[in-house]
Structure 1
Amino acid sequence: MDALKILIIPGSARDGSFNRRLAEFAARQARAAGQEATLLDLRALNLPLYDADLEALSGVPAGALRLQQAIQASDAVLLVTPEYNGFPTPLVINAFDWLSRIPATQEQPAGLAVTANKPAGLLSASPGAGGALRSMNFLRQYLQMAFAMVVVPQQFALGRAHEAFDATGALQDPRAVQSVETVLQSLARLAQALKTA
C-alpha cells in the first residue's frame, strides 16, 4: 500500500514562527507514522495581493499553480495557522483566493476542482492561552464552504506556544503531542478511506 501523502501548510512564514515549528513537528510525527509529509512555504509562492485587475492583465500567478499542483498531488492537507485579530492570516487567505481563480484547461483542472472533497486538518499555535482557536473556526468554515474540503472534526490549538517546544523542536507536553497525533490520525483515516473508496 502506498504511503499517504500529507501536504502541511504553515500559515505564518516569519522567522521563528510557532506555527511553522508546530507544522514541522507534525511533519515529523506523520513521517514516523509511515506517511509522506511535505511542507509548503506560502511566502515562497510570491503571490501578490489578489486583485481582479491584475488577474485580467496577467492571469493567475505561477505560485497559485504550484499551490494547486501540491494540493492535487496530496491525499490530505494540514493547515497550521496563527490568528491575526481572531482571523486566519492574510498569507493563507490570499493564497487560497488565488487558487480559487484558476480556470480549468485541457492540461489542468480548475483550482476549486482539486480542493473538492480533499481531506483537511487544522492545527494552530499562539502565545496566548487560546492557541489561535478563533482562527481555526473561521478557517474551517472557509475551507468547507468555499472550497468543498472535508475538514476532520478533531483539531488542536496550542496555547502558550512560546513555552511549548524543547530545544529540538519537539512539544514538551505529552498531552499536546497526543492532541497533534489525534488530528493526524483522524486525517489519515479519512484520507485512506477516500483513497480506497
Structure 2
Amino acid sequence: MAAASKVLVIAGSAREGAFSVKLAKVAAAALAAAGAETTQLDLRALGLPIYDGDLEAAHGVPDGARTLRDALLAHDAMLLVTPEYNGFPTPLVINAFDWLSRLKPEGSAPAGLGASAGKPCALLSSSPGPLGGLRSLNLMRQFLGLTIGMLIVPQQFALVRAGEAFGPDGALLDAKAQQSVDGVAAALLRLSNALRKA
C-alpha cells in the first residue's frame, strides 16, 4: 500500500482569530479525511524580516527561509489559504516566498525555487466581504505558478462573509462551502498522487 501524500498547509495570516487560519484547519481536516498526512506551518514563526537586498548582502538569507524550503521538500504538495488585504495577498505570505526565492543550493539541498518547482499546490481564500478574497486568490495563483514555479490545481474556493461562516467548533456552517473545500482537497491529492506514481 502506497504511503499517504504529505501536504503542507499554510495560512496567509497569523493574527489571533484569522479566518484564513480557521479555513486552513478545515482544509487540513478535509485532506486528512481523504487520506493525506498534513502539517500546518505558521509563517510568522519563521521570523522573516521584510525582504531587503542590503540586509541579504550583509547577513545572508535568514534561517526561516530554509525552514520553509525544508518543509516544502518534506511534503508532496502544499495548500495555501490567503486572506485579502486591500485586494492583495498578505505581505506575510509574499515576503516568505520572496525570501525562499533568494536561497541558493546548499550542500544536498536545492535552491529555494528548486524546492518549490513543480510542487502541486491548491488555493483557498477567505474574507469578510462578498468576494471572499477572490482578488488575492487570483494574484496568488499567478505569483506561485509563474514566479515560484508551483503546479496550481484549477479548482479553488473563496469563502465569502468569513466572519459568519464558522460555528463555535470551527467547522463551516454551510454544507456547500464544506463541499467546495473537500473538492479542492480532492483535486490536490489527485495531482499529488499522480505525480508520485509517475
Superposition TM-score, scaled by structure 1 size:
0.99
Tell me the equivalent position of 1:32. 33
- Matched position secondary structure for 1:114: helix
Tell me the equivalent position of 1:188. 189
Offset at 1:29? 1.5
Tell me the equivalent position of 2:76. 75
User: Mapping of 1:169-184 within 5 angstroms?
Assistant: 169-184=170-185
User: Mapping of 1:40-189 within 5 angstroms?
Assistant: 40-189=41-190
Structure 1 runs of 4+ aligned residues shifted over 6 Å read none
- Matched position secondary structure for 1:155: strand
Tell me the equivalent position of 1:15. 16
- Matched position secondary structure for 1:100: helix
Offset at 1:107? 2.8
Gaps of 5+ in 2: none
Offset at 1:28? 1.2
Q: Distance in 2 between matches of 1:184 and 1:172?
A: 18
Tell me the amino acid that sits aligned with residue 40 of structure 1.
L
- Matched position secondary structure for 1:77: strand
Percent identity reads 59
- Matched position secondary structure for 2:102: coil
Superposition TM-score, scaled by structure 2 size:
0.98
Offset at 1:106? 2.1
Tell me the amino acid that sits aligned with residue 39 of structure 2.
T
Residue by residue over 1:27-57, the C-alpha shift from the partner in whole angstroms, topping out at 9 and shown as x without a partner, is: 1111122210111000000000001111111
Any conservation in 1 of the 2:7–2:37 contact (CA below 8 Å)?
A: yes
Q: Distance in 1 between matches of 2:34 and 2:144?
A: 26
Tell me the amino acid that sits aligned with residue 24 of structure 1.
K
Offset at 1:105? 2.2
